[in-house]
Chain A
């Protein structure tokens, strides 16, 4: 939050996008780490949130209402598709979520009232009553306030009784079920929660950019969230934040290098694809727990040695 006030204008846009990515990643991390489910379609919920907020405010409803509706509609959508889809496990669910996103994007490109493939334009800036959020600084505050809410909610869920049930679920569904965890309902709840986080981020994104189209939510975006969650460490909130930060900053740095003079025009995209993939592969092979747990364990080991 302090950074939102101190960073200079040029850096703020990266800071905002980082916050948005972090929100979605916390949800992915919960879903993968606690409910043991892989979603390759998380950007679909981001899109639902974005379109909800965008559509409502384009039609003249107050932006606050749009932003409040974004996570709700995303969660509702998750519940509706989750009831059949969550019967699937492992790679089946991974492909099913990917398929959902592809269907959604294709539909959004077809439907007139969503603007078709051209998308929704002229989404008003976010504001409440007479107040209107103008510059990037305001959006930075809004984004990171939302990140704080997301982290708080996620923490409370994990520490609650339901959270313990979820952890049991990740290890063995059958054991959890026999211990009295309502498996189906718990999975659906995490799915909906992660969708709500993504929807909230999507809503803010729509107001911030002022323009959304099916092309704003590619499949690669969903995969980015998985990379961030895996690199940071599944099932840890700080891991999700660390993973999102590490990757957004790294990609930004490489973008700067890639757009320097004398670099070929394809350099930025090649560099970012390479970063995502190499980090993902390296993390799965050599740091299965992820960044944050690995560092924590090392610190703990050093602590015991010193004592």
Chain B
């Protein structure tokens, strides 16, 4: 029972990372229809930056916030390249963000080298119903909960958030009533950068991160986002948690190396199930 509980909390924490990256994908996709392949890169950049800032002597908290700010900057840059030029269709934009992801490899290896890096998170552990729980796991879960609440308030209560939702549901109508759709797209990329960055600084203390961690992060994030058809942040949260817990259970009770098969198999099954329910006509019209 205590083993089950520790797997569960472990899985929830890891799933929070997937959920944050997935919701970043959703934030960008619902406004711009672009699937941002560089989303995993934001987490890598933030994690590596945070490690550097901490090494340079910045206190905890400041270093993490600064690292997330770096990720937001990266998000805006990606946005400029991907949708800055008029008439770039979503699939071309996907290929551009793929290119940016590889370009980031070059920059990251130049700055941080090619070895994995980490930094100490919240130290210590305590026992809960017989299971040892690291405090960092609880920090991850708590920060994710706060982030998603803030995200909900942002979309529901602020002008910019409502503008983003308007662009998501009908870009043309949004433009007609005076919303700058392109600027909203950039805002979405910035938001994606922030969400990816938060994931990065939270997860790096749990597992060391290197430039090529990006592929695993983006694939898991996409798997989480697919739960909500790439349009609902809340569903991405649920998806991320399910994925994280499923992987932790497989790793705990089965074989750790089959984690990736489980996650990807689940993602494929959901996508195929969704595709079977959506007629081709509707998809092409969008």
Contact = CB atoms under 8 A, between A and B. Distances in A.
Interface string B219-253: 10010001000000000000000000000000000
A155 interface: no
B174 to A, nearest CB: 22
Contacts of B98: 40, 223, 226, 280
Interface in B258-277: 258, 260-261, 264-265, 267-268, 271-272, 275-276
Contacts of B95: 38, 226, 230, 280, 284
B247 to A, nearest CB: 13
B110 A91 contact: no
A95 interface: yes
Contacts of A91: 35, 90-91, 94
A276 B95 CA distance: 12
- State the main secondary structure of chain B at its contact with A: helix
Interface stretch (B100-108, B127-135, B159-167, B189-197): B100-108
B91 A277 contact: no
Interface stretch (A9-17, A64-72, A266-274, A298-306): A266-274
A222 B280 CA distance: 27
A46 B260 CA distance: 21
Nearest to A275: B106
A90 B91 contact: yes
A84 B272 contact: yes
B36 to A, nearest CB: 10
Contacts of B284: 172-174
B235 to A, nearest CB: 16
Contact of B100 (A38, A109, A110, A281): A281
Given A87-B272, A92-B271, A269-B114, A107 B99 contact: no
Contact of B219 (A98, A172, A276): A98
B100 A277 contact: yes
Contact of B110 (A172, A173, A270, A281): A270
B55 interface: no
B207 interface: no
A116 to B, nearest CB: 10
B148 to A, nearest CB: 23
Contacts of A259: none
Contacts of B92: 284, 288
B261 A281 contact: no
- State the main secondary structure of chain A at its contact with B: helix
Interface residues of B, number: 42
Contacts of B113: 266
Nearest to B84: A285
B257 interface: yes
A271 B109 CA distance: 10
A221 interface: no
B103 A281 contact: yes
A246 interface: no
Interface string A234-274: 00000000000000000000000000000000100111011
A285 B85 contact: yes
Given A270-B109, A273-B102, A99 B268 contact: yes
A103 interface: yes
Given A38-B91, A277-B100, 8 more contacts: A103-B265, A173-B280, A273-B103, A276-B102, A277-B105, A280-B98, A280-B99, A280-B102
9 closest cross-chain pairs (CB), A and B:
A277-B103, A280-B99, A273-B106, A277-B102, A91-B35, A99-B264, A281-B99, A274-B106, A273-B105
28 contacts: A38-B94, A38-B95, A40-B98, A88-B275, A92-B226, A95-B271, A100-B268, A102-B215, A103-B261, A106-B261, A172-B284, A223-B98, A227-B99, A266-B114, A269-B106, A269-B114, A273-B103, A273-B106, A276-B99, A276-B102, A277-B100, A278-B99, A280-B95, A281-B96, A281-B100, A284-B99, A285-B85, A285-B96
